Each structure stands twice: as C-alpha cells, then as structure tokens.
C-alpha cells in the first residue's frame, strides 16, 4: 500500500465528546457517594433498615413512668407478639454477651424490660457500644425503647460482669401480620483502653 491519505480527524469533536463522557464518569462516581446520605435519609423516612430510633422524645432516663402516664398506649390484649433477643460480640472485643431471657411474649402496648448479661474476659477495662437492629425491618418504627444500654457507651472493668437493662414498648399500631420481632445487638469495641481506664477510675 502506498502512503495513505490520512483522513483529517474531527479533533474538536473528539475533545468535546470525551469531555462529556468524562463528565458522565465523574457524575456517576459522585452519585455513588451521594447515595450514602440519600440512603440514610430514605431509611429514616421509611424506617426500612431495622434501625430503631433513639430514646423516646422528651424524656430522659427516669422519666419513663411520666411518659407512659402522659401518653398511655392502649394495651392490645387481643394478641401476643413474641420478642426474641440476640446478642453478638464483634471481633476485637473480648466480651461475652447473652440475653437473660431469650424471648418474651407480650401484648402490644405493654411496658417491658429485658436484660443482657455482659462479661469482660480480658484484664483491661474496655468501652463497648451496642448497636441494635430489629427484624423484620418494618417493625423497627413500632419498637420503642424508653431506656437502653445502647443509648450510651458501656464500660466494663477487667473481669467485670454486668447486667444491662432495656425498657421498651411494642406499639399497638404494629401490623397484625408481625407476630415475632427479633431484636439483635452487636457489641463493638468503642474506645482504646486508656480512656476506658480513666472512666473506670472515675465512676
């Protein structure tokens, strides 16, 4: 083949098209990160991912009776909901954890209390944080915790065993199809042992 005629390439066109395509790439990369707050907002609005709300509004610890008196939920004696309790200790936290009762039958609207026993196996004071999750996810918005050890970090001295309480109401508005709710806690290591030592010392 003799020297070929080089067709003049429409270079500006190339540039503009590549520019636009790179913009698409950048936008979809950004879209992925934008999904994180969007997802959280979506879950808060719909209550879908099994995350329970914090303490019931307007009351602190000790205000339980007051709140119940102020807004008494009618107790639905007509049906029974079973609440199952699960506890998991995540890797890196040398604790044992188990619920004192594994399940509880209750009428929706009743104020109930449950306990988890945790034990620090190590010779260090350790701070842990429990993260709750409710299954099925749709039950989460009807699972109201008035007081919970998961509202604050928990500190255990070396070898200490502690019973951690949780007070809750399953609201009677919960869907009648839901007969069993599973409440699962995952305990994570929250802080290094230095600050934990300080906490143990000061309490």
Partner 1 sequence: MYTADTAAHHDHAHGAPRGIMRWLTSTNHKDIGTLYLWFSLFMFFFAGALAMLIRAELFQPGLQLFQPAVFNQLTTMHGLIMIFGAIMPSLVGFANWQVPLMIGASDMAFPRLNNWSFWLLPAAGLLLIATFFVPGGAIAGGWTMYPPLYIQGGVAYDMSILAIHILGISSIMGAINIIVTILNLRAPGMTLMKMPLFVWTWLITAFLLVAVMPVLACAITMLLTDRHFGTHFFDAAGGGDAVMFQHLFWFFGHPEVYIMILPAFGIVSTIIPTFARKPLFGYVSMVYAVASIAFLSFIVWAHHMFTTGMPVGGQLFFMYTTMLIAIPTGVKVFNWVATLWRGSITFETPMLFALAFVFLFTIGGFSGLVLSLVPVDIQLQDTYYVVAHFHYVLFSGSAMAIMGGIYYWLPKWTGHMYDETLGKIHFWLTAIAFNITFFPMHFLGLAGMPRRIPDYALQFADFNMISSLGGFLLGASQLLFLYTVIKCVRGGAPAGNKPWDGADTLEWTQTSPPPYHSFVTPPQIKLVRGRSHANAR
Please say which residue, 106 or 150, places its beta carbon nearer to partner 1. Answer: 150
> What's the closest the beta carbon of residue 94 comes to partner 1, in angstroms?
16
**Options 59, 68, 86, 138; binder of partner 1; rule CB under 8 A:** 138
Residue positions counted in the chain? 203
Q: Is 152 in the site for partner 1 (CB under 8 A)?
A: no
Q: Give residues 11-30 in contact with partner 1 (rule: CB under 8 A).
A: 11, 13-15, 17-18, 21-22, 24-26, 28-29
Binding part of the chain for partner 1, among 46-54, 113-121, 144-152, 161-169 by CB under 8 A, reads 46-54
Beta bridge partners of 147: 167
Please say which residue, 6 or 69, places its beta carbon nearer to partner 1. Answer: 6
Judged by phi (left if over 0) then psi (alpha if -120 to 50, else beta), residue 28 lies in alpha
**Cα–Cα dist 125/68, whole Å:** 36
Residue appearing with tokens 């209750």: 106
Please, is 178 exposed, middle or buried when counting C-beta atoms within 10 Å of its C-beta (0-12, 13-18, 19+)?
middle
Judged by phi (left if over 0) then psi (alpha if -120 to 50, else beta), residue 176 lies in alpha
Query: Residue 111 is inside which H or E element, if any?
Result: strand 111-120
**Options 129, 193, 195, 197; binder of partner 1; rule CB under 8 A:** 129
Site string for partner 1, 171-200 (x = CB under 8 A): ---------------x-xxx----------
> Phi and psi dihedrals of 27, rounded to 5?
-65, -40
> What's the closest the beta carbon of residue 75 comes to partner 1, in angstroms?
27
> What's the closest the beta carbon of residue 91 comes to partner 1, in angstroms?
7
107-146 in b/e form (b: 16+ CB < 10 A) is ebbbbeebebebebeeebbbbbbbebbbeeebbbbbbbbb
Site string for partner 1, 72-111 (x = CB under 8 A): ------------------xx--------------------
Residues that bind partner 1 (CB under 8 A): 1, 3-7, 9-11, 13-15, 17-18, 21-22, 24-26, 28-29, 31-33, 35-36, 39-40, 43, 46, 48-51, 90-91, 129, 131, 133, 135-138, 186, 188-190
């Amino acid at each position: 083949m003799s020297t070929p005629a080089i067709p003049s390439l429409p270079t500006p066109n190339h540039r503009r098209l590549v520019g636009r395509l790179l913009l698409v790439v950048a936008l979809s990369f950004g879209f992925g990160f934008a999904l994180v707050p969007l997802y959280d907002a979506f879950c808060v609005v719909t209550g879908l991912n099994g995350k329970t709300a914090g303490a019931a509004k307007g009351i602190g610890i000790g205000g339980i009776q007051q709140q119940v008196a102020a807004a008494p939920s009618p107790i639905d004696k007509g049906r029974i909901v079973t609440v199952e309790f699960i506890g998991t200790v995540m890797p890196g936290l040398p604790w044992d954890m188990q619920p004192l009762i594994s399940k509880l039958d209750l009428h929706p609207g009743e104020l109930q209390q449950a306990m988890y026993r945790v034990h620090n196996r190590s010779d260090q004071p350790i701070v842990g944080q429990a993260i709750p999750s409710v299954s099925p996810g749709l039950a989460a918005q009807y699972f109201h915790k008035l007081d919970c050890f998961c509202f604050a970090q928990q500190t255990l001295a070396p070898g200490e065993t502690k019973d951690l309480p949780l007070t809750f109401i399953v609201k009677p508005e919960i869907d009648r199809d839901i007969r069993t709710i599973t409440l699962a806690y995952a305990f994570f290591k929250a802080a290094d042992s230095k600050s934990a030592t300080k906490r143990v010392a000061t309490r």
